[in-house]
């Protein structure tokens, strides 16, 4: 394996590290590889990480750099995990992006819902819309 191949594989190796900080940090590196399908799959797996900091980072990267597919994956996760209190951390991170960093999260989510008709995505969208309804896009 050449040095370049090793560098290219580093984010994938970090995404499966036993160290949560390495997994969290891998999210940014994987985001730079989007729209690579391998990077997308790795990031969506990190949405279900045992550490909420990793989940939040993966969600942010998918929303910022993953386009409609990225926000769809996050909405699907929110809906699938609606009864899991830890998923609230993801929703609140998206709220912060919308309010403080001027990322049009709700607009992106609406666009995604025009394409993704999964019941989990709809449930995640409803949760996110409720949380963000008091804030302008």
Cα–Cα distance measured from residue 113 to residue 125, given in angstroms and rounded to the nearest whole number: 8
What is the pTM for the complete model shown? Answer: 0.90
Instruction: Give the C-alpha separation, 25 to 92, whole Å.
Output: 20
Q: Mark 42-61 as b/e (b = at least 16 C-beta within 10 Å).
A: bbbebbebeebebbbbbbbb
Using one digit for the tens of pLDDT, what is the confidence trace for 40-95?
999 999 999 999 999 999 999 999 999 999 999 999 999 999 999 999 999 999 99
Is 53 a domain residue? yes
Is residue 137 domain-resident?
A: no
Find, among 59, 51, 2, the residue nearest to 22 by Cα.
51
Tell me, yes or no, whether 111 lies in a domain: yes
Q: pLDDT tens, 82-128?
A: 999 999 999 999 999 999 988 999 999 999 999 877 999 999 999 99
For the chain, what is the domain count? 1
- Paired tokens of 136: 């302008």
9 domain residue, yes or no: yes
Residue 128 sits in a domain whose CATH number is 1.25.10
What is the per-residue pLDDT for 62?
98
Provide the 10 A C-beta neighbour count for residue 115: 10
Residue 98 lies in a domain: yes
Range of the domain at 107: 3-132
């Amino acid at each position: 394996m050449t040095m370049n191949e090793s560098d290219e594989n580093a984010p994938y190796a970090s995404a499966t590290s036993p160290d949560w900080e390495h997994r969290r940090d891998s999210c940014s590196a994987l985001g730079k590889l989007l729209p690579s399908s391998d990077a997308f799959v790795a990031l969506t797996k990190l949405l279900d990480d045992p550490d909420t900091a990793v989940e939040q980072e993966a969600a942010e990267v998918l929303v910022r750099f993953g386009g409609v597919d990225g926000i769809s994956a996050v909405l699907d996760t929110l809906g699938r995990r609606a009864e899991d209190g830890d998923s609230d951390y993801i929703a609140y991170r998206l709220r912060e992006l919308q309010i403080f960093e001027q990322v049009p999260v709700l607009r992106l989510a609406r666009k995604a819902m025009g394409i993704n008709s999964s019941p989990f995505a709809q449930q995640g969208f409803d949760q996110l819309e409720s949380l963000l309804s008091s804030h302008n896009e």
